Amino acid sequence: MQFRNGIPAGQLPAKRWRKSSASNPYGSCIEVAELPGGEIAVRNSRDPYGPALVYTPAEVTAFLTGVKNGEFDDLDLGGSAALSRPAVTPRLAREWPSGPCTDPVLRSRVGVLGWGGQRM
């Protein structure tokens, strides 16, 4: 099933819209949802019934790879506090000095190695 860009998000058969846990509580965030057939829809949380953009898995993978590789680090995002925090990478997680990681979100990002290289 294919959907056109700009379709009202309320018309998409999305099971669940998700946003980053780093999003602010005032609705200034981007939400994503997987559609039947594997496409990914993106919408503005301030306008949940407004237009959505629809991407193929390959397009999303290419974009996320670019983000992870720092290809968009030069964008001026208004001094976002989220960007001033260090990224949680596997290397950083292994070298973190404060003990084992218990946060489930961070654990999913760093795999089986916790802070200090301890197995979880």
Q: What is the pLDDT of residues 2-40, one digit of tens each?
A: 788 899 998 999 889 998 888 877 777 899 999 998 999
Domains in the chain, number: 2
Check whether residue 59 and residue 32 sit in a common domain: yes
Q: Please indicate, yes or no, if residue 3 is contained in any of the structural domains.
A: no
- The boundaries of the domain holding residue 49 are 9-68
Check whether residue 28 and residue 63 sit in a common domain: yes
- Taking the whole predicted model, whether its pTM rises above 0.95 is answered as no
Measured CA distances, 46 to 26, 37, 94 (Å): 8, 26, 37
Q: Of 120, 115, 76, give the one whose Cα is nearest residue 94.
A: 115
Q: Please indicate, yes or no, if residue 45 is contained in any of the structural domains.
A: yes
Q: What values do phi and psi take at 64, rounded to 5?
A: -65, -35
pLDDT tens-digit readout, 88-103:
444 444 444 444 445 5
Q: Please indicate, yes or no, if residue 111 is contained in any of the structural domains.
A: yes
